Amino acid sequence: MEIWRLPISASQRGKLISAGYTSLSSLSSISSSDLARELNVSESEAMNILKVASHSRGSETSNASCSIVEGAQSAWDMLHDEESLMHITTSSADLDNILGGGIHCKEVTEIGGVPGIGKTQLGIQIAVNVQIPNDFGGLGGNSIYIDTEGSFMVERAFQIAEACIEDMSEYNRFLRKDFQECKIKMQPQDILENIFYFRICSYTEQIALINYLDKFLSENKDVKVIVVDSVTFHFRQDFDDMALRTRVLSGMALKLMNLAKRFSLAVVLLNQVTTKHTEASFQLALALGDSWSHTCTNRIVLYWNGNERYAYIDKSPSLRSASAAYSVTARGIRNSSSSCKRIKMM
C-alpha cells in the first residue's frame, strides 16, 4: 500500500493501482514512455509520477550515517542555535521580560484580546521594531504586514517609527557619551519603506497570499517578521461549512509554521475574542475554536485589569505563565506608567 503515500492526484493513483503498480519498487524499473502507455496518460505526467516515486525511494536508500532521518537536528545543536537567535522587542521592558526577550523567531505567536486593547498597535510596533539595526540589539530586517480589517494607519506607523528613531538616538547618546554624537542615519521614511503591506479582502485572498509568501520570501530574504492583522476576520462570517473552515485554517497554520522555520522569521497572528458557554458561565476565549488554539506555538492574551492593559502568556513551550502591564502611548507600546511610580496629574 505504499502508493497511498505518494503526493499525486487521486485519478493518477487509481490508474496506477488498476494497472497493477501497488508498490514503489514496481515503479523502479519502468521507463516513463512505457508507463505513459500503460496508464494512458501523457508522458510528462508519467515522468512526474516516476520522479515523485524515486524521490520517496531515494530517501530510503540514502541513509546518512550521522542522522536518523535527513534534516533532523540533535537537541544539543538546537540548544546552541537558540542561544544565537534574536528576539523582537516590543518596546515595553516588562512585556519583553515575560516573553524572554521579545517575540521569538522561528515560532508562530498568536496575540488575542478584546477590541480596543491595542492589538493593532502592538502589531505596528513589532513591524517597526524588527527594523532596529543590529548595533542597537535589533534584527535589522524587513516586515510583512497583512491587513485583513483595514485597521493599519500609515500616520500612526510614521509616528511610531519617529519615536523609535528618537529612542535609538537617545540610547546612542547615553552609550557613546564620550564620543561625538553620531547621528542615526535612519529616517522614519526608511522604516516605512521596509514594511511590505498587503490588504486582504476575502478568505480566498488570504489563503492565496499565504501560498504566495513562499516565493516572496525567497526573493526578499531580509524579511524577519510577518504580522497578520487579524487572522480571524474573514473566517468568522459567511462560513457555513465548519469542516472546511477547520481544514483551511489548519492548512494555513502549517504553512505559516513552515515559513517561520525555513526562513527563520517570526510570525505574529492577531486574533479576536468570542464568548464561550461553559458550565453555565460565559467566558471570553479566542476566536476560531479549539483546533486553531492548538496550532500556534505561543499565545499571549491581552486583557483589561481595572484601568490597566495587561498581557498574559497563555501558551508557551519554554516560558512560564506570567502577566505584565503595558500601555499604549503616543510613541507606541511602552511600559505601564504606574510601574514608574509617578503620580498622574489629572
Partner 1 sequence: MARLANLETEYPVLDSTVRNFCASHGIFSVEDFLIHDLYMLAAFAEQNDSSERLKEGIAQVLSVIDDMHQPWLNGMELLEDAKRNKHVFPTGIQGIDLLLGDGIRVGQLTELVGPSSSGKTQVCLRTASNVARNHMVLYLDTGNSFSPQCIAYFLGKTISPSSAQAKNQFLQKVMSNISCHSVFDIFAMFDVLHQLESYLRCQDGRGGCQMRLLIVDSISSLISPVLGSSSTLGVINSKLMDTARALMTSAGYLLKKLAHQHNLAVLIINHTVGGEGGSSKPALGDSWKCIPHSRLFLSCDRGSNTYNVSILRHPSMASGKAARFVI
For residue 76, state whether it binds partner 1 (rule: CB under 8 A): yes
- Of the pair 72, 345, the CB lying nearest partner 1 is at 72
Radius of gyration of the CA atoms of the chain, in A: 25
User: What is the sign of the dihedral through the CA atoms of 42, 47, 52 and 54?
Assistant: positive
Residues 169, 121: Cα–Cα separation, whole Å: 22
Region from 23-31, 118-126, 128-136, 164-172 binding partner 1, contact rule CB under 8 A: 23-31
Among 277, 341, 342, 344, interactor with partner 1 by CB under 8 A:
277
Region from 89-97, 130-138, 185-193, 254-262 binding partner 1, contact rule CB under 8 A: 254-262
Residues 260, 265: Cα–Cα separation, whole Å: 5
**Residue whose C-alpha is closest to residue 119's, from 111, 128, 131, 109:** 111
Q: Residue count at the site for partner 1 (CB under 8 A)?
A: 67
For residue 84, state whether it binds partner 1 (rule: CB under 8 A): no
For residue 255, state whether it binds partner 1 (rule: CB under 8 A): yes
Among 78, 201, 208, 322, interactor with partner 1 by CB under 8 A:
78
Phi, psi of 329 (to 5 degrees): -115, 180
Residue carrying C-alpha cell 521580560: 97
- Of the pair 75, 330, the CB lying nearest partner 1 is at 75
CB 324 within 8 A of CB 98: yes
| 109's grid cell | 505567536
Region from 130-138, 145-153, 161-169, 241-249 binding partner 1, contact rule CB under 8 A: 241-249
For residue 244, state whether it binds partner 1 (rule: CB under 8 A): yes
For residue 135, state whether it binds partner 1 (rule: CB under 8 A): no
Rounded least distance, CB 197 to partner 1, Å: 26
- Write the burial class of residue 196 (CB in 10 Å: 0-12 exposed, 13-18 middle, 19+ buried): middle
Q: Helices 32-39 and 43-61: crossing angle, nearest 10°?
A: 120
Q: How do beta strands 273-278 and 108-113 pair?
A: unpaired
- Please give the full DSSP string across 262-274, using - where no structure is assigned: HHT-EEEEEE-EE
- Of the pair 41, 168, the CB lying nearest partner 1 is at 41
For residue 299, state whether it binds partner 1 (rule: CB under 8 A): yes
Q: Which residues bind partner 1 (CB under 8 A)?
A: 1, 4-7, 10, 19-23, 25-26, 29, 56, 59-61, 63, 67-76, 78-79, 82, 106-108, 241-244, 246-248, 250-251, 253-255, 257-258, 260-261, 277-279, 289-291, 293-297, 299, 314-315, 317-318
